Structure 1
Amino acid sequence: MAIPLTSAGNSLMTEPLSAADLEEICAIIYKCSGMVFGETKRYYIERRVADLISQRKSQSAKDYISLIRRDWREAELLINSFTVNETYFYREQHQLACLSNSMLPDLIRSKGPGDRIRIFSIPCSSGEEPYSIAIWLLENWPLVDAYNIEIVGSDIDTAILQQAIDGFYGQRALSKLSSSLVDQYFEPESNRQRRLIGDLRESVTFAKSNIVDRQSLAALGRFDVIFCRNLMIYFDEAAREIAAANIHSLLCPGGYVCLGHTESMSRISENFEPIRFPEAIVYRDVGER
C-alpha cells in the first residue's frame, strides 16, 4: 500500500513505507504506549503516518522518523493518532451497577463517613466513562453524599483529554442515557450537541498518563477502584504484565479493577483474584506490597 506524501514543490507523490520504516514506527508506538502494531496493520499505519507526514511537510517517512528522534513531542502526536476513542455514556452498565451494589458496599466496611473513595478511569478517552461513574453514583448510590468521592480520568492521548475537560457530546455518546438524565445533566449547545453541566465537569480530575509507564502514574496516588476496560487487548504479553503490575501498584489493598468482557487478570498476574458479584466479574487486588 502506498502513502501520499507532499514534496517540496507541493506535488503529490506516493511512497510505501519500507519494512525498516514500518518496524521503527511500530517500535516507537510500542515503546510509548505498549500498543502492538506490525505488518498486518500496514494499511492502518500508513494512512495515519501519511497524514502526519503531510502536516509536517516532511519529504519522506525517514524524514518524519528523524523528526520524532529530534523532538519526542512528535511521538506524542503519533500516539494520539493511533489511540482508539470509541466510547459512550453508560457503556457496560452492568459494571456500574456492580460498583454501586457490590464493590462500594464492600469497600466502605473499612471506611468511615467522610472518608475518601478514589476511582480511576484509564483510558478515559473523551470523558464518557468517568462522567458516567459520577452520574451513576449520584443516581444509584444512596450513600454518595456520605463519602468524599474522587474520580480521576486519564489517557495517553492529550487531544482527547482536552475534549473530556471541555465536556461537549453528540447524540451518539448520549444514546444510552434516558432523556431525563440528558436534560438533567447536559445543557443544550449548537450543532445538536450537549455540554455536561459545570458541577459534573468539576467533579472529575483529568491527567495524562500511560498504563505501561509507572513514572507517569506515580503522582496519581492510590485508588479503591480502577476501570481499565478494553485497553490490554492491544498489548502483547510483556506489556500486559507491565500494565497489571502498574495497576497493582495503583490499587489500595483489597481494591478492585474492572476489565473489558474479553480480558482477564487471571492469565496475567497472581496479584488479583476474580470475584463473581451478581452484576459482574471483577478482580480484587490480593498481592503483597
Structure 2
Amino acid sequence: MIEISDEEIRRLGDFLYRRTGMVYSLSKRYYIERRIDDRVKATASPSFESYFARLRADVGGEIEKFVNAFTVNETYFNREDHQLRCLTNDLLRERIAVGHGTRRLRLWSVPCATGEEPYSIAMWLLDKWPLVDTYDIEICGSDIDTDALGAARLGIYGKRALMRLPEQVVARYFRRQPGDRWQLIDELKESVRFSPVNLVEAGQTREHGRFDVIFCRNVLIYFDDTSRRIAADNLYESLLPGGFICLGHTESMSRISPLFEVRRFEDGIVYQRPEVGR
C-alpha cells in the first residue's frame, strides 16, 4: 500500500474539505491511505505527487471519483424506523393541515447512499399510510456519491440490506436474483427520483426546490462546526415553512443552528422550520 506523509494527508484532507465539508484528519490515516492507494492504482499514477496533480487538474473526472471513494454508504432498509412511524403518524398529518388545499407532498432523503432510505419511505407510505393515493407524493433521493446513485437507480441489494424488512414486504416489492440478491420491482424504482447534491453548496441544494420533510441522517457527524452551519442553512432553505427535518439519533440540530424549532413526538424528536421565518 502506498505510504503517505502527514503533510500529504493534510493536503488531501484540505482538498476534500473544501469540496465537500467532510473532515478527514490524521486520526483516519489508515482509512485515507487505503482509498488513496486504490485511486493511485486505478489511475496508474507512479507516485502520490503525480496522482495529486491529476486530482487537482481533474483529469478524467478524478475529483468525482476521489469524492466517491471517501463517502460512507453503510445503510439498510427501514433503518431507524421510528422516524418512519413519526412520518405517517404525525409529520404528514401536520403538513396536510397547513397545506392550504394543496395535494402535493415532497420528501427528500439526503444523503440517500444506495437508495435504501428513500425506497423504505416509499414502501412505508404504500403499506402504512391510508391517504397515500390521495396525494401527489414526490420522493427524491440525493447524494454526493455518483457511484452510490447509480447503484440506487439499479435497485439490487444483498441479504443484509433487507434484514429489517418483513418477509411479506420483500415478497411484494422485490424479485430474487442470482447470487442471493434481490431487485426492487420497477414500479417502486420509478417512485423515487435520484440526483447528485453537495450539502455545502447552496446552488446545488437550491436546484432541488423546497420539501415538506427532509431525512438527513448520519452525515453532519462527518462535518466540522463551520460546514455543519453551512449545511444547516442550506437545509433550512430547502424546507417549506413548517416543514420538518429528521436527523440521525446521535445528531442534534439544536447544537448546530438556532433556525429550527425542536418538536417532540411519540416516535421521535425532529426539527421544524417555523411557519414564520426568522
- TM-score scaled to structure 1, two decimals? 0.93
Counterpart in the other structure of 1:50? 37
Structure 1 residue 114: deviation in Å?
6.0
**Sequence identity, in percent?**
49
Counterpart in the other structure of 1:288? 277
Contact 1:114 1:148 in 2 (8 A): no
Distance 1:71 1:272 in 2: 38
AA matched with 1:42? R
Counterpart in the other structure of 2:14? 27
Distance 1:204 1:52 in 2: 31
Runs of 4+ in structure 1 displaced over 4 angstroms? none
Distance 1:166 1:55 in 2: 24
Change (3 A) 1:180 1:79: same
Aligned residue among 111, 117, 120 for 1:123: 111
Residues 133-212 of structure 1 aligned to structure 2 (within 5 Å): 133-212=121-200
AA matched with 1:123? P
Aligned residue among 42, 47, 60 for 2:47: 60
Total equivalences in the alignment: 276
Q: Secondary structure of the residue that 2:255 maps to in structure 1?
A: coil
- TM-score scaled to structure 2, two decimals? 0.96
The reply on whether 1:132 has 2:115 as its aligned counterpart is no
Query: Of the two, which has the highest radius of gyration?
Result: 1
Aligned residue among 70, 82, 85 for 2:73: 85
Counterpart in the other structure of 2:92? 104
Q: Secondary structure of the residue that 2:199 maps to in structure 1?
A: coil
Counterpart in the other structure of 1:253? 241
Distance 1:163 1:43 in 2: 26
Contact 1:28 1:75 in 2 (8 A): no
Contact 1:123 1:231 in 2 (8 A): yes
Contact 1:257 1:282 in 2 (8 A): yes
Q: Secondary structure of the residue that 2:138 maps to in structure 1?
A: strand
Counterpart in the other structure of 1:235? 223
> Which blocks of at least 5 consecutive residues in structure 2 are unaligned?
none
Counterpart in the other structure of 2:57? 70
> Which blocks of at least 5 consecutive residues in structure 1 are unaligned?
5-15
Contact 2:206 2:237 in 1 (8 A): no
Q: Cα RMSD (Å) of the superposition?
A: 1.2
Q: Secondary structure of the residue that 1:96 maps to in structure 2?
A: helix
Distance 2:163 2:100 in 1: 37
Distance 1:71 1:266 in 2: 38
Distance 2:87 2:21 in 1: 28
